[in-house]
Amino acid sequence: MSNVTTYEKILKREDHGIYIYIPIEIEEGVERLEISYEYSPWKFKGSAWRNDVDLLVVDEKGNDVGTRGSVIREIVISPYYSTPGFDVREISKGIWNVVVLPARMISDEIDLKVHVKTFKKEKRWYIGDTHTHTYNSDGKHSYDTLIDKAKKIGLDYLFITDHNRTILHMPKSQDYLTVVPGLEYTYPNGHANVWGLQQPYSGTLITNTQEGFLKLKEESEANGGLVSINHPFCSMCGWHWPLDNFDFDCVEIWNGPMRLDNLKIIDWWHNELVKGRRLSAVGGSDYHRDYFVVKLLGKPVTHIYSEGRTQADLLKAIKEGRTSISWKKGGTFIEITSGDSVVGDSVKIKDDTKVRISVTNLKRGHTLRVYDSEGVIYTYKAKKKGNHIIELPVKNAGFVRADVRWDLKGFKWLLFNLVMTFYIPAQAFMKDVPPMVEAICSPIWFEK
C-alpha cells in the first residue's frame, strides 16, 4: 500500500544558495520511501546555463541520509535498496526533511514540486536462504558474487553466515535483496548461526566448553541477534554437546540436499513439538559452492511470513515460528491457516474450529501428510501435478503441521545417490532409504 504527497514551493532570488527545509511526516510501518522532484524553468533556449536545484534528505534525528544533484531526480530509500548516494536503511517514524538547495538561479523564480511516496510494509511470505558462506571462510565466492547469484534466483533475502568471521564488514542490502549479516559459531562439538549482527560478541569466540559457547550465545542475544542450532544430527559435523540443558529459539531442520541426517533432525523436532516446545524451524543450503551442473544456493529455501522484508521483521517472524521450507523457489510449498491465524499463532479451540492446509505445486506421486501431537491425521497421494487444499476439524489441543514426502525410485533414486556421492559419500547407494521430504511447514498451535 502506498501514499503520495506533493509539496509545492516557489523559490525566489533571495533563496539562492540557501538550504530550505520541507518537513515530511513518516508514519509507523513505512518500509520504502520514494522521492521525486521537478521544477521549472530548468533549461533556457540558447543558453548553456540552467537552474540547478539539489536535494538532500535528513532523517527524524537530524542525520544525513544522502544527497544528489539535479540530474538525478528520482530517489529510493529502503532497507534493501537505495539510490546510489543514499544510505540503505530502515525508515523510522517521525518528522524527516527533504532539503532543497537552489545551487544556481538564472531566473527570478523557480516553481518547485516535490513528490513523496511512502510504501507500507507488506505482510506476506518472503523467500530466501538462511545459511551461506563466502571465501571469507571456506566458500568459493565473494560477497558480491554470492549476492548476484541470490538475485538471479529471485530470492527476497540472503543470510550470510561465514564460519567464525565477523571482522569483515558485510555489504548492506541491495537491489531489492535483504542481506542479513551473521556468522556460524563453529566448534568441534557443534555449529550455530547467529543472525542480525556484524559483531555479535566482544573479545574472542574461542572456547573449548559448552559453557563458553552459552556465554557467547547469551551475549549475542542480548545484542539483538537470533541464534539457531545448525544441523544437530549431521553425520559429519553434528551437535555433540547436550541439546536439553539450555534454551534456544530456532533449529535448522533441513540442511542442504534432503538426506538421512535431515530426516533424523525432523523427527527430533517433531518430538520436541509433541512435548509442547515451540521451537522455530528453518532450512538453509549451507552453500559453499556448486558441484558441476548441480546448483545448490537456495536449496532449500525458507519461506518467512513476515510483516515486511526488513532484517528486524524477518528475524522476528522466524522467532515466532512463521516459517515453511521448500526444496527450491517455485517448488512445493505448504501453508497452514485457521481462520485469520497463520503458522506460529495460537488458536482457541471452539466447536467449529478448522485448520486449512494448502499445498501448491504438489508433484505427481508425492504424499501430503498432516500431523497433530497424536500422529498422522491425514494423507493424500497426488495422482497428478497441481494444488491441493484440505480443511480438517480441530478437536485436540497441541499443534497441526504438515509435510510432503516422496519415495526414492528410478531416476530420482539415481540422481539422489549421485549427489550424495559428492556430498556425503557414506550415505550414497544405501538400501531401504525412507521417503524424502520435499516441503515442510511449521505448526499452528491450538489451545482449549
47-51, 216-220, 286-290, 332-336: which has the minimum mean pLDDT?
47-51
**How many CB atoms lie under 10 A from the CB of residue 134?**
23
Domain at 2-120, CATH from 3.30.10.20, 2.60.120.380, 3.90.1300.10, 3.90.180.10: 2.60.120.380
Give the pLDDT score at 388: 98
Question: By mean pLDDT, which of 40-49, 92-101, 179-188, 273-282 is the weakest?
Answer: 40-49
Q: Which three cell numbers stand for residue 146?
A: 554470492
Alpha carbon distances (Å) from 322 to 35, 282, 298: 33, 10, 18
Higher pLDDT, 181 or 293: 181
Which pLDDT band, with edges at 50, 70 and 90, does 70 fall under? confident
Q: What average pLDDT does range 432-439 have in this prediction?
A: 89
Answer yes or no: is pLDDT of 15 > 70: yes
C-beta atoms surrounding 19 within 10 Å: 13
Q: Which of 334, 344, 303 lies closest to 444, judged by CA?
A: 344
Higher pLDDT, 373 or 419: 373
Enumerate the domain spans of the chain: 2-120, 121-329, 331-448
Per-residue pLDDT at 272 exceeds 80? yes
Question: In terms of pLDDT, which residue wins out, 408 or 442?
Answer: 442
Measured between alpha carbons, how far is 41 from 50 in angstroms, rounded to an integer?
A: 8
Query: Do the strands 226-229 and 74-77 form a parallel or antiparallel pair, or are they unpaired?
Result: unpaired
- Element at 261 (helix H, strand E): helix 260-274
Please give the CATH number for the structural domain made up of 331-448. Answer: 2.60.40
C-alpha 52/C-alpha 42 separation (Å) is 7
Nearest to 221 by CA among 251, 183, 195: 195
Statement: residue 46 has pLDDT above 70: no
Reading the block at residue 360, the C-alpha cell is: 501448491
Beta strands of 52-211 (E only): which ranges?
52-58, 64-68, 74-77, 94-104, 109-120, 124-129, 157-163, 178-187, 190-195
**226 with 174: CB under 8 angstroms?**
no
How far is residue 55's CA from residue 72's CA, in Å, rounded to a whole number?
Answer: 9
Question: How far are the Cα atoms of 51, 105, 164 from residue 40, in angstroms, in the given order?
Answer: 8, 11, 55
Report pLDDT for 339.
Answer: 97
Check residues 42 and 369 and name the one with the higher pLDDT: 369
Residue that wins the pLDDT comparison between 402 and 48: 402
Q: What is the mean pLDDT of residues 60-64?
A: 97
pLDDT at position 433: 78
Query: pLDDT tens, 237-260?
Result: 999 999 999 999 999 999 999 989
**Cα–Cα distance between 435 and 208 in angstroms, integer?**
38
Q: What is the mean pLDDT of the chain?
A: 94
Between 170 and 134, where is the model more confident?
134
* Mean pLDDT confidence for 6-10: 96
* 1: confidence class by pLDDT, cuts 50, 70, 90: confident
Helix residue ranges, H only, 124-274? 143-153, 210-222, 260-274
Write down the pLDDT at residue 69.
84
By percentage, how much of the chain surpasses pLDDT 70? 99
What is the pairing mode between strands 250-255 and 280-284?
Answer: parallel
Q: How far apart are CA 427 and CA 387, in angstroms?
A: 32
Give the residue-averaged pLDDT of 16-38. 96
φ and ψ at residue 46, rounded to 5 degrees: 80, 5
Residue 47, pLDDT > 80, answer no
Q: Which of 66-70, 138-142, 241-245, 396-400 has the lowest mean pLDDT?
A: 66-70
Residue 123 has pLDDT above 90, yes or no: yes
CATH for 121-329, options being 3.90.550.10, 3.40.50.970, 3.20.20.140, 1.10.10.10: 3.20.20.140
Q: Flag whether pLDDT at 35 surpasses 90.
A: yes
Residue count (the chain): 448
Position 221 scores a pLDDT of: 97
DSSP, res 287: B
